[in-house]
Copies of this chain bind each other. A is one copy, B any other.
Amino acid sequence: MTNTKYDVAGIGNAIVDIIARCDDAFLSNQGMEKGFMQLIEAGRAEKLYQTMGPATEQSGGSVANSIAGIASFGGKCAFIGRVADDQLGKVFAHDIQSIGVAYDTPPSDVGLPTARCFVLVTPDGERTMNTFLGASTELKPADVDKQVIAQSQVTYLEGYLFDKPEAKAAFNEAAVTAREAGRKVALSLSDAFCVDRHREDFLALVRGGVDILFANENEITSLYQLNTFEDAAGAVRAEAEIAVLTRSEQGSVVISGNETIEVPAAPVDKVVDVTGAGDLYAAGFLHGLTAGRDLDTCGRLGALAASEIISHIGARPEKNLKSLAQGAGLLG
């Protein structure tokens, strides 16, 4: 993996999170399944916003969060994803560019506003998400800068992109470009319901074009329609080069060929908001991998980044992850 300009290029939905606290009753009154993400249309977004409490706005998007995390570790990154030419779009672009990430996707001009995700955080720290994809659905194959992909060690793709046909086409184009350039492709399954919507596509990718797969327990059992984590882990071992399976407070398991590496979760004083836990785990793992670390260290970097993100509101790191990792003896 020499002669690369970037460690990781991420392609995903460009979203601003609108984060509010609520109680469990609010979720059930609104018919929401706690802990999951659902897609909503403009009208529902408007109505939900009117109903929910005061909020904080912060850049989000699953793979964009991971890219922000890798940048905080000191990695070189690019991001591809579509916003609109509006205030939230400017917020998204500012936040990712200001941490040194190359982000040059031109804003959409078709009228859909920048994507937003209403993140509802319950007192237990669990988050329930409602996403209006807006302008991010306007990502097209032509937006994938092939030079960027060819110059990145790893191209990291978001499963959520499969929810819209053009974005899915952009995703596939990026994967092909990366493979042709001899680079690695990583995929996040994003969400168990997302897996349910696109199971055959994801299985084909895991079998054919993905080198590193990120999934949590719900997602991997949903992918293989198996009942236990152990069975699903066995199934993915036969198919993926590296599978990284996260299990919340039970830590994570890295599977590669005959290797099985169990990584404990990093300790947290108080879980404030789990939003971005998986995204930041992926950030730590991919930073370790592109910096040439062994799989155990990659997993520990992932666990460390996840522990930082769940200790505060929002899915972008507040502390410098490189310093944190150096303090923990994981990076020199």
How far, in whole Å, are A68 and B56 apart by their CA atoms in the complex? 14
| CB pair A53 B98 closer than 8 Å | yes
Residue of B nearest to A91 (CB): B57
A95 at the interface (CB under 8 A from B): yes
In this assembly, does A94 line the interface, its C-beta being within 8 Å of a C-beta of chain B?
yes
In Å, the complex CA distance between A88 and B90 comes to: 12
Cβ 8 A contact of A98, one of B52, B56, B95:
B52
Q: How many chain A residues have a CB neighbour from B under 8 Å?
A: 25
Q: Which residue of B lies closest to A68 (CB)?
A: B54
Interface string of A26-65 (1 = CB under 8 A from B): 0000000000000000000000011011111111000000
- Asked if A268 lies at the interface with its beta carbon under 8 angstroms from chain B, I say no
Does A168 sit at the interface, judged by CB under 8 A? no
Q: Taking chain A's interface residues, is the majority helix, strand, or loop, or is none over half, making it mixed?
A: mixed
A225 is an interface residue with CB less than 8 A from chain B: no
* 1/0 contact string of A4-21 vs chain B (CB within 8 Å): 000000000000000001
User: A86-B87, A87-B86 given as contacts; is B49 within 8 A of A54 (CB)?
Assistant: no
B54 touches A57 (CB 8 A): no
**A86–B50 Cα gap in the complex (Å)?**
16
Chain B residues near A314: list those with CB within 8 A: 56
- Partner pick for A54 among B52, B54, B98, B113, CB 8 A cutoff: B98
Give 19 A-B pairs besides A21-B318, A50-B98 with Cβ atoms closer than 8 angstroms: A50-B94, A53-B99, A54-B59, A54-B68, A54-B95, A54-B96, A54-B98, A54-B316, A55-B91, A55-B94, A56-B56, A56-B58, A57-B57, A57-B58, A57-B91, A86-B87, A87-B87, A87-B88, A87-B113
Interchain residue pairs A-B with the least CB separation, the first 6: A57-B57, A87-B87, A54-B95, A56-B58, A53-B98, A54-B98
A interface, CB within 8 angstroms of B: 21, 49-50, 52-59, 68, 86-88, 91, 94-96, 98-99, 113, 314, 316, 318
